[in-house]
């Protein structure tokens, strides 16, 4: 190697170490050990509530969970007293659109730039975390704005939950995940549009190239889109099999937006990891999902908010009409899926309604047949399994991230307490503490 080349390499290595040192200095890990005194601790695996527990945290992870005594506190431990609260693991929302808001529906959304939507995402990330959701799976964002948001959170520049992100969702030309509001002369196509087996293979690889943690596809038409039918299948079975094969080989899971029964069936047969919405799910689709272990991520509370507010938001009449047809049907069919024993993970479609209201989903799930514990498990251990992070989160256990929330009362008796989270810790850092006021 020539001297000039060696000098360049040395400078490059030195600069890398300087940048790493600066990052560590600007965003240090929580200093010292922390002990959280939990007056009540919900074991989300068993449903048992344990009294007076000591949760010891070091380096952003849970070290131990044992009965609390004054002697269990080591010298130098910082004590956080939640002795009058119920403590749970941080919640997960497996279906969000962090860089969008309710008013973005229809023609209003055409005037929002990618940089602007990314900044909107920074606000929504904070609101979501303060609502008790320490992890989200973002399933669809224009221009990789969710990738930028995830990276900013990981760098400590923005406050927000852990994020797994999909970037632009894959969809067919003219389908739910295309941009259909502009006329022909604009030649506008959404970033995730791909057709045919070769086309979808290329798009999966491209999406991963630009930072996607998972692949989101549109297996059927949708509600908040122009010119498509929610019950109509979009991608063929062969196209979806190609998507899943490439995604899984490259270490990414696949989430499939699917309202219609045929699209749900094909998506599960193709091997997707989750069905989003599932509005017209039927017995054949339920059987296929149970056979394959496919998760259902229903998004239910949005119907209440959307149908009450859509006209004031000037949502196009076509989309309101679709909502009035699809959303009530979804509740009936999803209740049947619950009773049939499909695997369920928690998701909200936040952005159809304001971010921060994610916790309202629990009460609807319980109304449709889940027990409060099952609804909580959908947002903790089940969601952790779906995301592939079961070793990192989903329960208050040694070795897991120190992602902890606390509420008043007993969520097993009144699940709406999860709409009013009063304490949030992410990775050992306190984000919100109304008990400390």
DSSP strands (E only) in 72-197: 78-89, 91-96, 133-138, 162-165
Any bridge partners for residue 274, and if so which? 255, 295
Q: Which of 216, 322, 426, 432 is catalytic?
A: 216
Both structure tokens of 212: 């996607």
395 CB-near residues (< 8 Å, 6+ apart): 43, 44, 45, 89, 380, 381, 384
Catalytic residue among 146, 273, 349, 403: 349
* Cα 176 from Cα 96, distance rounded (Å): 17
CA dist 167 and 141 (Å) reads: 5
Using the structure block, give the residue that is written with the tokens 């039927």: 282
* 282 is an active site residue: no
- Closest Cα partner for 192 from 204, 183, 210, 182? 204
To the query of whether residue 216 is one of the catalytic residues in this protein, the response is: yes
Cα torsion 335, 338, 340, 345 to 10°: value is 140
Residue ranges of alpha helices (H) inside 113-236 are: 114-130, 145-155, 196-209
Q: Is 96 helix (H, G, I), strand (E, B) or coil?
A: strand
Hey, which residues are catalytic here?
216, 349
């Amino acid at each position: 190697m020539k001297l000039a080349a060696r000098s360049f390499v040395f400078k490059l290595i030195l600069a890398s170490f300087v940048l790493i040192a600066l990052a560590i200095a600007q965003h240090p890990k929580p200093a010292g050990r922390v002990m959280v005194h939990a007056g009540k601790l919900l074991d989300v695996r068993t449903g048992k509530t344990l009294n007076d527990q000591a949760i010891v945290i070091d380096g952003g992870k849970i070290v131990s969970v044992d009965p609390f005594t004054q002697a269990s506190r080591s010298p130098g431990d910082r004590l956080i007293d939640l002795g009058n609260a119920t403590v749970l693991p941080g919640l997960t929302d497996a279906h969000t659109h962090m860089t969008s808001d309710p008013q973005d529906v229809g023609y209003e959304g055409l005037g929002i730039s990618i940089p602007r939507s990314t900044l909107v995402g920074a606000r929504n990330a904070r609101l979501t975390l303060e609502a008790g959701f320490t992890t989200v799976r973002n399933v669809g964002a224009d221009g990789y704005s969710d990738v930028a948001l995830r990276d900013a959170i990981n760098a400590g520049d923005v406050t927000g939950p852990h994020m797994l992100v999909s970037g632009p969702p894959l969809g067919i030309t003219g389908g739910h995940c295309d941009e259909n509001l502009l006329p022909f002369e604009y030649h506008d196509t959404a970033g995730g549009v791909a057709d045919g087996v070769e086309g979808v293979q290329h798009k999966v690889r491209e999406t991963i190239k630009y930072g996607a943690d998972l692949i989101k596809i549109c297996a059927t038409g949708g509600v908040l889109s122009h010119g498509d039918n929610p019950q109509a299948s979009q991608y063929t079975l062969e196209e979806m099999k190609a998507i899943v094969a490439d995604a899984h080989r490259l270490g990414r899971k696949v989430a499939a937006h699917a309202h219609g029964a045929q699209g749900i069936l094909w998506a599960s047969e193709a091997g997707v990891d989750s069905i989003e919405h599932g509005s017209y799910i039927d017995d054949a689709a339920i059987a296929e999902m149970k056979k394959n272990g496919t998760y259902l991520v229903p998004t239910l509370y949005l119907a209440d908010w959307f149908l009450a507010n859509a006209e004031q938001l000037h949502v196009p009449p076509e989309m309101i009409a679709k909502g009035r047809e699809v959303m009530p049907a979804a509740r009936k069919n999803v209740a049947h899926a619950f009773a049939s024993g499909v695997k369920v993970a928690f998701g909200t479609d936040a952005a159809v309604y304001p971010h921060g209201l994610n916790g309202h989903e629990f009460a609807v799930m319980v109304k449709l047949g889940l027990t409060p514990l099952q609804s909580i498990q959908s947002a903790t251990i089940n969601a952790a399994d779906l995301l592939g992070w079961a070793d990192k989160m989903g329960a208050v256990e040694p070795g897991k991230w120190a992602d902890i929330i606390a509420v008043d009362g007993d969520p097993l008796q009144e699940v709406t307490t999860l709409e009013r989270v009063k304490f949030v810790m992410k990775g050992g850092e306190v984000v919100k503490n109304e008990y400390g006021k």
